Structure 1
Amino acid sequence: MPASDTTPGPQSDAEIPAYLDALGVPGLADIHVHFLPDRMLDKVWAYFDDAERNYGKAWPIHYRVSTEERLTIARRLGMRAIPALTYPHKAGMAEWLNDWNRDFAVANADVVHCGTLYAEPEASDYVPVALAAGARLFKVHVQVGGFAPDDPVLDPAWAAFAAARVPVVIHAGSQPLPGQHTGPDAIAKVLARFPDLGFVIAHMGMPEYDAFADLAEQYENVHLDTTMFATGYFDEPAIPAAYLARLGRLQHKIVLGSDFPNIPYAYARQLAGLAELDLGDDWMRSVLWSNGARLLGLSAATP
């Protein structure tokens, strides 16, 4: 049943700090944030500029400003640590992206040291190197990469993540675009082999919501991130009551995600949409802070 103690969500980015104060949380633990090398980001933004052809609807980048300005905005929004998720679209990219991630985190004390991989034999070497260098969050994009997550070539990497207890944000759902390897089946096969793996299913697994929720219920370290969920951008007009009830039961497994800065609306829209689910302030505190803080190793004292 919907809760009766839900504080209305912020209607603008300027209202976010007051909203977090009202909830009594020290900030936002957003696990799905992108920073990329400039030339790569230019190509990503060019792709979104052509979204009418790619997705059938416009996708104007809301935070199309410099790296320094985006970092400043992220801090102003309340992010206590800022992920810099990267992802390759072909072989031979992941290792240099990991090097860039390392350097970017060194240059910015509040940036989370992130990493990525591609389905290639070299992943068994560069993933342990990145972990040893301090990477504590990884990103994998099945549709963009065009590879099967259950490809055996990735088994050493999955084993390394499971052993290190490092979470992996993985976009495996079939929205906004399906791919040859998207969907829950391959993810289920990976988890059957590596049940301790800490997958964070991006976008709540949309549109295969229930199948990915099944995995979150079955495996202790599987979580769902909220990226673009309940914003009205892709969702159906109404979220089924049965799924809403599942979200209440999965309170400890749902983590704030946003896709900042590559979103076609203001950041506050994500928070307002989640509040409108009316699952209660305690649920919102878990989603906006506690769950992500646990995965990222943050504390209330995190600068």
Structure 2
Amino acid sequence: MTDPAGAPDGDVEPVRAFWNELGLPGLIDLHVHFLPPPIQRAVWAVFDAAGPKIGRDWPIRYRGSHEERVATLRAMGVRRFPTLPYAHKPGVAAYLNDWARDFAVTVPEALWSATFYPEPGAGADVADLVAGGVEVFKVHLQVGEFLANDPLLDPVWGVLEDAGTPVVLHAGSGPVGNDFTGPASVRRLLARFPRLTLVIAHLGAPEYAEFLALAERHDRVHLDTTMVFTDFFEADAPYPRELRPRLLDLQERVLLGTDFPTIPYPYAHQLESLARLDLGDDWLRAVCWENGVRLLGE
């Protein structure tokens, strides 16, 4: 297959070979970002500058236009993916949500994604989004600088607990922690709303053990693999070898995530990193396809 415009040469075929060898129809990637162009440029500028919330050089491999990046995912065989907008301050969520809605209308593979922020009216806004059919939410505690159990979010979490809509939650202290990251506020949140369907981004890096324990305690808490086990992440936040067998025990609640396009290596490296854990083909099939199908009700 010829690589589409915007995809580095040779990036597509290894991805297709991976899922073909597992007998899968493709991949479901639960951690992909598409943002409005002004915000996308601002986010990438922070990465390019190795800003204070990035903390290291982070070259972005997939910098093409929206159209080129969609074409790359299609060529790789990524059948479903979200856009995962995240609000970094009050008053931004509505703009992001409107843009993400329009994107999902024009890109059939895209999950209708949305976000929220602790501000007055957030509960009503999220209730409207859920009623309209939003398929996944994204929240980023490090960037937004708020706690998961902020009182202004109580109405939001109540709606989402009842609806069962997944929330991809960046709560771990990687790549750079602050006063709002870590498992403590998520633990308090789940004590009040134990039926929430959460997808802990990056397996909670670097607080792997703590977030793994939360998933073991709450049967609607999931973990996504985003960037974990890659050489890039292992250099700074290696996943403890002694925790690997527990990922096998949680086979049905580990989901493929990659952080495409904001990754500094070929997409296939994430898949190769999962394979070299040697947890078996059944585990890989569950992570890369079956669990996503189940979570999304497809």
User: Contact 1:128 / 1:160 at 8 angstroms: preserved in 2?
Assistant: yes
Equivalent residue, structure 1, for 2:276: 276
User: Contact 2:53 / 2:143 at 8 angstroms: preserved in 1?
Assistant: no
Paired letter, 2:99 = W
Say which is worse superposed, 197-206 or 100-109, in terms of deviation: 100-109
Equivalent residue, structure 1, for 2:73: 74
Look up the SS of the partner of 1:51 in the other structure: coil
Equivalent residue, structure 2, for 1:3: none
Instruction: Please provide the CA RMSD for this pair.
Output: 1.5
User: Contact 2:55 / 2:175 at 8 angstroms: preserved in 1?
Assistant: no
- Give the TM-score of the pair, scaled to structure 2: 0.93
Q: Deviations over 1:78-130 (max 9, x none)?
A: 11112111001100001121111111111222211001000112211211111
Look up the SS of the partner of 1:139 in the other structure: strand
Matches within 5 A, 1:168-207: 168-207=167-206
Equivalent residue, structure 2, for 1:6: none
How far did 1:54 drift? 5.4
User: Contact 2:29 / 2:78 at 8 angstroms: preserved in 1?
Assistant: yes
How far did 1:53 drift? 6.4
Cα separation, 2, equivalents of 1:205 and 1:20: 26
Matches within 5 A, 1:71-220: 71-220=70-219
Q: Deviations over 1:63-85 (max 9, x none)?
A: 00000000011111111112111
Q: Kindly indicate whether structure 1 or structure 2 has the higher relative contact order, using CA contacts under 8 Å at least 6 residues apart.
A: 1
Cα separation, 2, equivalents of 1:162 and 1:194: 7
Paired letter, 2:147 = A
Cα separation, 1, equivalents of 2:160 and 2:55: 36
User: Contact 2:173 / 2:206 at 8 angstroms: preserved in 1?
Assistant: yes
Cα separation, 2, equivalents of 1:140 and 1:177: 16
How far did 1:235 drift? 2.2
Q: Unmatched 5+ residue regions in structure 1?
A: 1-10, 299-303
Cα separation, 2, equivalents of 1:80 and 1:64: 20
Cα separation, 1, equivalents of 2:219 and 2:179: 28
How far did 1:295 drift? 1.4
Paired letter, 2:259 = D
Look up the SS of the partner of 2:277 in the other structure: coil
* Poorly superposed stretches of 4+, deviation over 6 Å: none
Equivalent residue, structure 2, for 1:17: 16
Count of residues paired in the alignment: 288
User: Contact 2:115 / 2:137 at 8 angstroms: preserved in 1?
Assistant: yes
User: Contact 2:46 / 2:54 at 8 angstroms: preserved in 1?
Assistant: no
Equivalent residue, structure 2, for 1:267: 267
| Aligned CA distance change for structure 1 residues 278 and 106 (closer, same or farther; 3 Å) | same
